[in-house]
Amino acid sequence: MAEQLRLMAVHAHPDDESSKGAATMAKYAADGVQVLVATCTGGERGSVLNPKMDRPDVWDNIAEIRKAEMAAARAILGVDQAWLGYVDSGLPEGDPLPPLPDGCFALQDVQAAAGPLVRLIREFRPHVVLTYDENGGYPHPDHIMCHKISVVAFDGAADAEQYPGLGEPWQPLKLYYQHSFTRAKFRALHEGMVAAGLESPYEEMLNSWTDEGTDMGHRITTRVECADYFAVRDDALRAHATQVDPDGPWFRAPLDVQRKVWPTEDFELARSLVDGSLPETDLFAGVREAGRTV
């Protein structure tokens, strides 16, 4: 009997797994796919974005709180999760930007930093790996570093001469980049809310979205129907209570509007070692057909 399919999603911080591709992961997990989230950092330098949680006791224990939030979110999604053990770099702000803190994830040597991910890939043996594009989805230094080590590990895990002592080689078959924020998606949500007689929170954002280079919609190759799991996604995101305001813009578009106007989560097939054709509706397209599930 063939082994079950396995999916790994590599994310920079706890909460990223619940805001990017979460409904897709929940769908595959419910369908019997083994899903593992690899979290690069502990999110120690993240902001407290929920005003109800912006308290001294939270700031004093932020590392442990974020671990507990991650545990709650992964249980809601029905996935497993592992920490790679790196320290959050923080998001530098100001002009000029301040230097990144010593020892943080984004300052690590890429080849060396990919080692823990290579070990995890060799242990878990995913058929499909999800990560961010070369811009990190947005230019957070940890997101960009997450992309870099994911690309190195995708090939390095299969090479017996690289990373000796980190397990038996394993070659994932497909590598995807996640594209959660596109102009077309937010235009559809905006128009759907207006048509439903609701005030849209997206009009100002759309009007100010002038940089065509930040819209990766044209790179999408794969749309996974997962609207039935949008509520699960939102529950997982709310579990990251320091990172999301339950009364904020993340949750202003009603689920029935979202399911109607944009029922998919969207990805770019960056690498594939199996035959297939584009566009796709399944991250395991080609893997299933080839029977490559061992």
CA dist 233 and 227 (Å) reads 10
147 is in an annotated binding site: no
Cα 270 to chain center, whole Å? 15
CA dist 4 and 28 (Å) reads 11
Q: Which residues contact 55 (CB under 8 A, 6 or more apart)?
A: none
Which tokens go with 21? 């591709």
88 is in an annotated binding site: no
> Is residue 239 within 8 Å of 72, Cβ to Cβ?
yes
**Among 257, 280, 239, which Cα is nearest to 22's?**
239
13 is in an annotated binding site: yes
Which residue ranges are tagged as binding site? 13, 16, 143
Which residue ranges are tagged as binding site for Zn(2+)? 13, 16, 143
